Structure 1
Amino acid sequence: MNIKRKLMMRFVLQLATAEAFAFLIAAVTFFWAYQRLVDIRLTNDFASTGLEQLVASSEIGKDGIHFDPLLLEQVKKNGGWLQSLDENGQVNQSYNTPQDVPKKYAPGEFVSYWTGTRSFPYGLSLWVQEKDGRTFTLLYGQPNPMGTLLKTVSSQGTLSSNGKLILPHEVTARLKQLGGYIQLLDATGSELASYNRPTSAPTAYTLQELSLRTMYSERYGFHLSSEYMEETSRTWVISLPNAGGVATGNSWLPPEEERTILKSIVAMFSAIFLLFLLLSLWQAHRFGVPLLHMLSWLDALGKSVYQEPVDHRGIQRSRLGSGKWKRRYLIFADVMDSIDKLSATLQRDQVLRQQTDSLREEWIAGITHDLKTPLVSIKGYAHLLAEPQYDWTAEEVRKFSGTMLEKSAHMDMLINDLAMSYRLKSGARPPESEEIELNSWLRETLEQVGTDPFYKEEAILFRPAPVDIFVKLYTPWLERVINNLTANALLHNPPETTLTVSVISSEGGKGFTIEFADNGRGMDENTVSRLFERYYRGTNTSTTPNGTGLGMAVSKGLIEAMGGQITVDTALGKGTVIRLIWHDVVANSES
């Protein structure tokens, strides 16, 4: 899998995981908010919310009905009580019921308590539901301080001559404790006097506003109750704050529920933001560190430092002790491998360049010496011939001239070899080739080469192929290669060395080999590995007047330019075998 797919799959997987966590956070937040809203409703308005749940979650046993313990605990927390009545008003079961609550109700008695026509110290709520073929009547009661206070105020409260309310001490103490207030209104709904009224409360009421505040207390943050005094046309109004707090008057929900929803939204978005922040930091650590490491590595390569950067302990940051990639670097393994290979290549090239520079300097020094040596001889003989005080004989002049011609020819051959080596390096191709019969042509060429006075007699043996081989090759180049290989075998080996030249035809008549085998001293591995380098010289021209130190490099270039290849098989003490091989040249053979 390439790095593009790895990164795509990794990012898609991480994004999907982050989305799953975000959905989980949202689900947990919504669940918590829902549960909290239910708890608020059960606390603030158990009569309308909790009684239905209480019946729905109940179970009927032999000993009667059983309610959910958590809901019963909520009843107790609210300071309320429960009674289960049968058709005759008899209490079957009760929970947290005070002593002053009846154990049996007559029909008219119960209705008068419930409607408020008869004084009762508790607010009552009634729930009637049929379940499993039986009708259940649940009576829920909770302390009703508003009703008690209103009865006391309407019966004992008065308006003084200076326009202030005169109230019983227990009423004022209770109002301060509950945070409520009292108002006395005239026949038009305007306030005559008040006690503990906040500045946000109205000082005049219309019929509609008094009705709305009485019915929808959650909108205004206060429970409001009023009693009209028919004999004076005045109205006593008492207001106590809701359990959830004071509303703004423009809200659709009670303040406590609004705060719960706001908290849940803030918590949800904060958790999601923290999730993505941590994911971003993790991504930066997971992907940023390897990227910075690779950039640092590439920067080091630009500064010719071909090693992977290490930490303060000298350990590579990207690898384990076993040499494997660390987990965070594994996804970039392909890139890291490529950089590692690039480092090795650049380091190898640097070493090779240094070696090449050293060889070039060596070679230039050798070439300079090779050119200077014959030039010194030519210059010396020229000075001798030019001196007027000497009267040279004709024989001496011919001797001096011959030496000068010999040294000039050597310099010319050296310059030609230099030019040929650079031409071959530039991709020179042979001119138009001619067809020759290889056996006869090679025999004649070797006979001419063998006439060199530096070679001993019968030092060259020729073994032709058993059949005639007709090929198209550029004979001047091939002749030059034969001269170079012959000189290399006979001049740089002991005098008794013999060179055997063989022509071998490949099976099927496609391709042939010319083999040069000598029984000389052979070459070591270092010499063989550098035999065809232009900047390597095994010897210099001081050992023999023939050769330029470029013969093998030029020979290899000429053979390859003619479509062949050259191989060497040698070892110290076992002689040398050099083969000129053409695989793709069609050799027309005749018996």
Structure 2
Amino acid sequence: MNIKRRLTLKFVLQLAITGMVVLAISAITFTWILLRFLDISLSRDFANVGLEQLVESSKIDEDGIHFSPSLLEQVKKNKGWLQSLNEDGQVESAYNTPKDVPIQYGPGEVVAYWTGTQPFPYNLALWIQEKDGKQLALVYGAPNVLGPLLKKVSEGTFAAAKGDPVLPDELEKEIKSAQAFVQLIDSSGNEVVSYNRPNMIPTQYSVQELALRTLYSERYGYHVLSSFDKDSGRTWIVGEPNIKGTDPSKKVWIPEEVKVVIIGSFAMLIALLIAFVLLSLWQAHRFGAPMLHMLVWLDSIGNAIYTEPTDRKGLRRSRTAVGKWRRRYRVFADVMVSIEKLSATLKSDQVLREETESLREEWIAGVTHDLKTPLSSITGYAHLLAEPKYDWSKEEVRKFTTTMLDKSAHMDMLISDLAMTYRLKSGIKPPETMEVELNAWLQQALEQAAANPAYGKQRIVFLPAQTEVRAQLYTPWLERVVNNLTANALLHNPPDTKLTVSLIHKDRDTGFIIQFADDGDGMDEETMIRLFERYYRGTDTASTSNGSGLGMAISKGLIECMGGRITVESHVGKGTVIKLIWS
């Protein structure tokens, strides 16, 4: 899988993980909000909301019915009690039931208590539902504070002060302990007298006001009951907070449900922010750190530092101690390998450039010396010939001019070889090839080379091929190669060295090999490897008049331009074998 696909897959997975985290946080937040709404509903109206939840969450087994502990705890908080009845009215299970509550009900008894046709010290709620093939009947009771209190104040006879009734101290204490209030209003709805009335309870009522407060107690925070006296036209009003322990008189700026939504939304935003920060840090760790590492590495390469940046322990950041890719670098493995190759190539090129520069300087120094030495000789002889105080003989003049011509020819050869090396480097082609029979051509070329007095006599041995060998070659170039290899073998070895030139024709093939083998001193490995490099060696005009130090490099270039290749084998003290191969 290439890096494009790996990165695409990684980013898709990142987005998927981010989406899952967002969905999880949102689901948790909405679940919490719904549970809080349920808690609010249970605390406000357990009779209508809690009984259904009790049945839905209950479990029935051989031991009977089991209710949710949290819902039972809410029953206790509401100071209520719970009973489960069978079809005969018998109580099967009960929770927080006072002693004055029956444990057996007749068919009409529970209905009479429920509808209020019979006096009962508790407000009852009845819930009947079938579950798991069994019909459940739940009776929920809560303290009935307002009913008895309303009866006491509406039917009682109290002392009057300035024409207004005065409640006994015991009744006032009962009203305060129940967190209730009592009001007496006249036929116009104006307050006559009140006890423990909160500030939020009005002192004047209209027909609509009293009706709304009686029907929709959850809007106003108080549950109220009233009793109208037809004879006097007055109305007694009693009320208590919907939720005991709270102070409904305090103005609520934000409803509890809205507060829950705000808290849940704020918590969700904080959780999402933290999740995104953590995901961003993880993303930076997984993708940012490797990319930064590669940028630092590339910057180091720009400063000619080709090794991979390391950590404090000196280990490569992208690899483990055993050399394996670290997990966060695996996705960039292709890029890292490419940077490694680039670093190795640039480092190798730098070393080669430094070596080439050194060799070029050496070669320039050698060529300068090679050109300057014969030029010095020419200049010296020219000054001698031009000096008027000397009267040179014809033989001396001829000797001087011969030397000058020889040195001039050597300089011309140096310049020609230098030009040839650059022509070969630019990729020249043979001007015009011709077909030759190599056995005869090589024999003639070697005889001409052997005529050089500097080589000595009978030092070249030619071994022709057993069959006729014909090839399409540019003979001036091949002749130059033969002369270069012959001179290299005979001039840079002891005087008794012999050179054996063999022409080898490959059976059933058009290829052939021209082999130059001498029994001289041989070469060490470094010299053999760099034998065909330009600028590697330069000859001194003092040692020989033949050669420029570029002969082997030129020979290699010429052979390759004619479609062949050249190889060398040599060992110190065992001679050298050079092969010109066409296959």
State the partner residue of 1:450: 450
- For residues 242-261 of structure 1, what are the structure 2 equivalents within 5 Å? 242-243=242-243, 255-261=255-261
What letter matches 2:315 in structure 1?
I
Shift of 1:130: 6.4
Which stretch shifts more, 98-107 or 155-164? 155-164
Shift of 1:36: 4.3
Are positions 1:11 and 2:11 aligned together? Answer: yes
In the alignment, is the contact (CA less than 8 A) between 1:89 and 1:107 conserved in 2? yes
Question: Deviation digits for residues 540-590 of structure 1, max 9, x if unmatched?
Answer: 33211111001011111111112211111111112111111222xxxxxxx
State the partner residue of 1:483: 483
Shift of 1:359: 0.7
Shift of 1:427: 1.5
Return the alpha-carbon distance in structure 2 between the equivalents of residues 147 and 517 of structure 1: 132
Return the alpha-carbon distance in structure 2 between the equivalents of residues 287 and 195 of structure 1: 73
State the partner residue of 2:570: 570
CA gap of 1:172–1:263, structure 2 versus 1, over 3 A, is farther
Return the alpha-carbon distance in structure 2 between the equivalents of residues 35 and 12 of structure 1: 34
In the alignment, is the contact (CA less than 8 A) between 2:158 and 2:168 conserved in 1? no
CA gap of 1:422–1:108, structure 2 versus 1, over 3 A, is closer
In the alignment, is the contact (CA less than 8 A) between 2:145 and 2:178 conserved in 1? no
Are positions 1:304 and 2:332 aligned together? Answer: no
Are positions 1:372 and 2:391 aligned together? Answer: no
In the alignment, is the contact (CA less than 8 A) between 2:538 and 2:550 conserved in 1? no
State the partner residue of 1:141: 141
CA RMSD of aligned residues (A): 3.4
Return the alpha-carbon distance in structure 2 between the equivalents of residues 386 and 88 of structure 1: 155
SS in 2 for 1:578: strand
Are positions 1:385 and 2:385 aligned together? Answer: yes
In the alignment, is the contact (CA less than 8 A) between 2:377 and 2:404 conserved in 1? yes
Question: Deviation digits for residues 129-184 of structure 1, max 9, x if unmatched?
Answer: 56789876543211122334333443459898889885554565566666655444
SS in 2 for 1:331: helix
Which stretch shifts more, 551-560 or 43-52? 43-52
- For residues 164-563 of structure 1, what are the structure 2 equivalents within 5 Å? 166-169=166-169, 181-189=181-189, 191=191, 200-202=200-202, 204-243=204-243, 255-537=255-537, 539-563=539-563
Shift of 1:515: 1.4
Return the alpha-carbon distance in structure 2 between the equivalents of residues 167 and 540 of structure 1: 140
Return the alpha-carbon distance in structure 2 between the equivalents of residues 359 and 541 of structure 1: 19
State the partner residue of 1:68: 67
Return the alpha-carbon distance in structure 2 between the equivalents of residues 413 and 321 of structure 1: 59
Return the alpha-carbon distance in structure 2 between the equivalents of residues 506 and 132 of structure 1: 101
SS in 2 for 1:100: coil
Return the alpha-carbon distance in structure 2 between the equivalents of residues 88 and 296 of structure 1: 86
State the partner residue of 1:586: none
What letter matches 2:518 in structure 1?
D
In the alignment, is the contact (CA less than 8 A) between 2:125 and 2:140 conserved in 1? yes
In the alignment, is the contact (CA less than 8 A) between 2:374 and 2:541 conserved in 1? no
What letter matches 2:565 in structure 1?
Q
Which stretch shifts more, 156-165 or 175-184? 156-165
CA gap of 1:290–1:564, structure 2 versus 1, over 3 A, is same
Return the alpha-carbon distance in structure 1 between the equivalents of residues 578 and 179 of structure 2: 117
Shift of 1:495: 0.9
CA gap of 1:443–1:50, structure 2 versus 1, over 3 A, is same
What letter matches 2:582 in structure 1?
W
Return the alpha-carbon distance in structure 2 between the equivalents of residues 410 and 146 of structure 1: 135
Shift of 1:230: 2.0
Return the alpha-carbon distance in structure 2 between the equivalents of residues 565 and 163 of structure 1: 138
Shift of 1:73: 4.5
SS in 2 for 1:504: strand
Return the alpha-carbon distance in structure 1 between the equivalents of residues 300 and 150 of structure 2: 89
What letter matches 1:414 in structure 2?
L
Which stretch shifts more, 501-510 or 174-183? 174-183
CA gap of 1:152–1:58, structure 2 versus 1, over 3 A, is farther
CA gap of 1:464–1:120, structure 2 versus 1, over 3 A, is same
Question: Deviation digits for residues 470-494 of structure 1, max 9, x if unmatched?
Answer: 3222221111111111111111111
What letter matches 2:500 in structure 1?
T
CA gap of 1:360–1:136, structure 2 versus 1, over 3 A, is closer
CA gap of 1:221–1:580, structure 2 versus 1, over 3 A, is same
Return the alpha-carbon distance in structure 1 between the equivalents of residues 127 and 563 of structure 2: 110
In the alignment, is the contact (CA less than 8 A) between 1:54 and 1:67 conserved in 2? no
Shift of 1:457: 1.4
What letter matches 2:579 in structure 1?
R
- For residues 15-54 of structure 1, what are the structure 2 equivalents within 5 Å? 15-54=15-54
Give the structure-1-normalised TM-score.
0.87
Return the alpha-carbon distance in structure 1 between the equivalents of residues 311 and 21 of structure 2: 36
CA gap of 1:186–1:540, structure 2 versus 1, over 3 A, is farther
What letter matches 1:41 in structure 2?
S
In the alignment, is the contact (CA less than 8 A) between 1:310 and 1:317 conserved in 2? yes
Unpaired stretches in structure 1, ≥5 consecutive residues: 584-591
SS in 2 for 1:507: coil
Return the alpha-carbon distance in structure 2 between the equivalents of residues 134 and 416 of structure 1: 117
State the partner residue of 2:581: 581
Return the alpha-carbon distance in structure 2 between the equivalents of residues 401 and 291 of structure 1: 73
Shift of 1:206: 4.4
Return the alpha-carbon distance in structure 1 between the equivalents of residues 458 and 300 of structure 2: 63
Return the alpha-carbon distance in structure 1 between the equivalents of residues 187 and 523 of structure 2: 134
Return the alpha-carbon distance in structure 2 between the equivalents of residues 279 and 543 of structure 1: 77
Give the structure-2-normalised TM-score.
0.88
Question: Deviation digits for residues 332-386 of structure 1, max 9, x if unmatched?
Answer: 2222222122222222211111111111111111001101111111111111111
What letter matches 1:46 in structure 2?
F
Question: Deviation digits for residues 234-288 of structure 1, max 9, x if unmatched?
Answer: 333334332297699999xx94454445444443443333223211111112211
CA gap of 1:415–1:66, structure 2 versus 1, over 3 A, is closer
Return the alpha-carbon distance in structure 2 between the equivalents of residues 349 and 133 of structure 1: 89
In the alignment, is the contact (CA less than 8 A) between 2:198 and 2:249 conserved in 1? no
CA gap of 1:443–1:43, structure 2 versus 1, over 3 A, is same
CA gap of 1:98–1:568, structure 2 versus 1, over 3 A, is same
CA gap of 1:270–1:147, structure 2 versus 1, over 3 A, is farther
In the alignment, is the contact (CA less than 8 A) between 1:220 and 1:249 conserved in 2? no
Which stretch shifts more, 194-203 or 520-529? 194-203
What letter matches 2:394 in structure 1?
A
Between Structure 1 and Structure 2, how many residues are aligned? 579
Unpaired stretches in structure 2, ≥5 consecutive residues: none
